[in-house]
Amino acid sequence: MSDRSEREPSESDRPESDRPASDQSPSERPVTVTDVEDAQERLAGVVHRTPLDTSRTFAELSGAASVGLKLENVQRTGSFKIRGAYNAMSQLSGEEQERGVVTASAGNHAQGVALAGDLLDIDATVVVPEITPAAKIAATRGYGAEVVVEGDIYERSYEYARERASETGETFVHPFDDESVVAGQGTVGLELLDQYPDLDAVFVAIGGGGLISGIGTAVKAQDPDVRVVGVQPEGAFHAKPSLDAGEIRELDDVDTVADGIADTRMLETTFSVAREVVDDVVRVTDREIATAVTLLAERAKTVAESAAAAPLAGLLSAKTDVAGDDVGVVVSGGNVDLTEHGELCRTGLHELGRYADARLALDRWPATLADVVDAIESQGAELDHVNRACPGGGDRPNRTPVAVGVEGSGADHLRGVLADLASLDGVSVVEHSLE
């Protein structure tokens, strides 16, 4: 395993043409396509060959000739991570397997290591940060691993797990910065090429860089002209500054809804590979990610966690020209709490102009509430929620404040609904989110 380099501040982006050149040949890289092909043999019968689902909607929205969604959210454990974890752990010596393994993870790698441990009869301990969704922790324990919650972000969990490994003799299985892990993740790329032979570009989320390094290694070996585009949230945007500078840059902190890619940096192995196989990295907002989560649920009928929706957000951001291209989008996982998924979809609907929150003031509570419901339904809109709100300093004492959430077909439709509500006798629209 590579030691982590000293922390450095991030810097502003530089054009891709200004990136320092590398003199690595493909055979000198820490991970080669042969490594990926060997991993594919080890994983035969262990992982699913996940489907590729084409989407005319996303092609039209992006201007691409076609868009194919590589659905790793239906992989075993709900994400691609089992590929790298199993490939690495299956190559441990008998003595290493006997001592057990420990890792740090925001959730999906945890489940991959846990399942691999179960399949290979290796004791596994997983250290997770406090931000890890409860569903991922429960699933990890369900596969038989011991789970230790330590640290507010992944980096703190990582440090704790490395210290534990040095004390106990357990083997540390890195979530991304390991040649065997990268090679295992690269099998996603081999499958994608087989399913989508005319591929022109592929969009992949970047956290620590293991997935994009593996996929890039696989696709570039077959066709160097395929563009490999990384996507990161603006609150964890470290890859492009690093690649442009020709050296690893680390963020002091991260702030993003996409917990699965909330890493502060790439490390030596992934950076060494990524600088050779990644063509560009685009930045997206959390609200763009939420919109992508929403569109995947509505149009592709698939549940994606926020990190897994980031590549689609990158494609739809129009920051990369894909006109006329056949584009792959890796939907890397679907492990998300249902309440969180609902909140993300509500945010996405807001961004699409199809959801409005409104605060009303009603006379004759609760009789007038029936008029409110009838007005919303008569307009063909959906009443998502209605709650009696706590009175505020600006509310009239003789009126009852009520909060409603309404879903419609678009902003104009919702404005019509709000206008109807305002015209009702005994109803005032105090404020709304379309303002």
Q: Are strands 400-407 and 355-362 parallel, antiparallel or unpaired?
A: antiparallel
Identity (one letter) of the amino acid at 173?
Answer: V
DSSP 178: S
Q: Would the CA dihedral through 382, 384, 385, 391 be positive or negative?
A: negative
The owner of tokens 């690595």 is: 24
Contact 288, 317 (CB under 8 A): yes
CB-CB neighbours of 25 under 10 Å: 8
Q: Which of 79, 272, 306, 332 is flagged as catalytic?
A: 332
Q: Which of 62, 70, 79, 81 is flagged as catalytic?
A: 81
Question: Could you give the maximum distance between any two Cα atoms of the chain, in Å?
Answer: 79
State the alpha helices, DSSP H only, in 105-173. 108-120, 134-142, 154-168
Contact 292, 231 (CB under 8 A): no
Identity (one letter) of the amino acid at 194?
Answer: D
DSSP string, 200-243: -EEEEE-SSSHHHHHHHHHHHHH-TTSEEEEEEEGGG--HHHHH
> What are residue 163's phi and psi, to 5 degrees?
-65, -40
* Nearest-angstrom CA–CA distance, 21 and 246: 8
Q: Shortest CA distance to 107 belongs to which of 282, 332, 331?
A: 332
Question: Strand pairing partners for 149?
Answer: 128
Task: Let me know if 332 is a catalytic residue.
Answer: yes
Distances (CA, A) of 327 to 68, 124, 227, 242, 427: 6, 37, 9, 25, 50
Task: Let me know if 317 is a catalytic residue.
Answer: no
Contact 149, 140 (CB under 8 A): no
* Nearest-angstrom CA–CA distance, 313 and 400: 40
Q: Which residues of 6-56 form beta strands (DSSP E)? A: 52-54
In sequence order, what are the residues at sequence separation of 6 or more whose Cβ sits closer than 8 angstroms to the Cβ of residue 190?
A: 36, 37, 40, 218
The residues annotated with a catalytic role in the active site are 81, 332
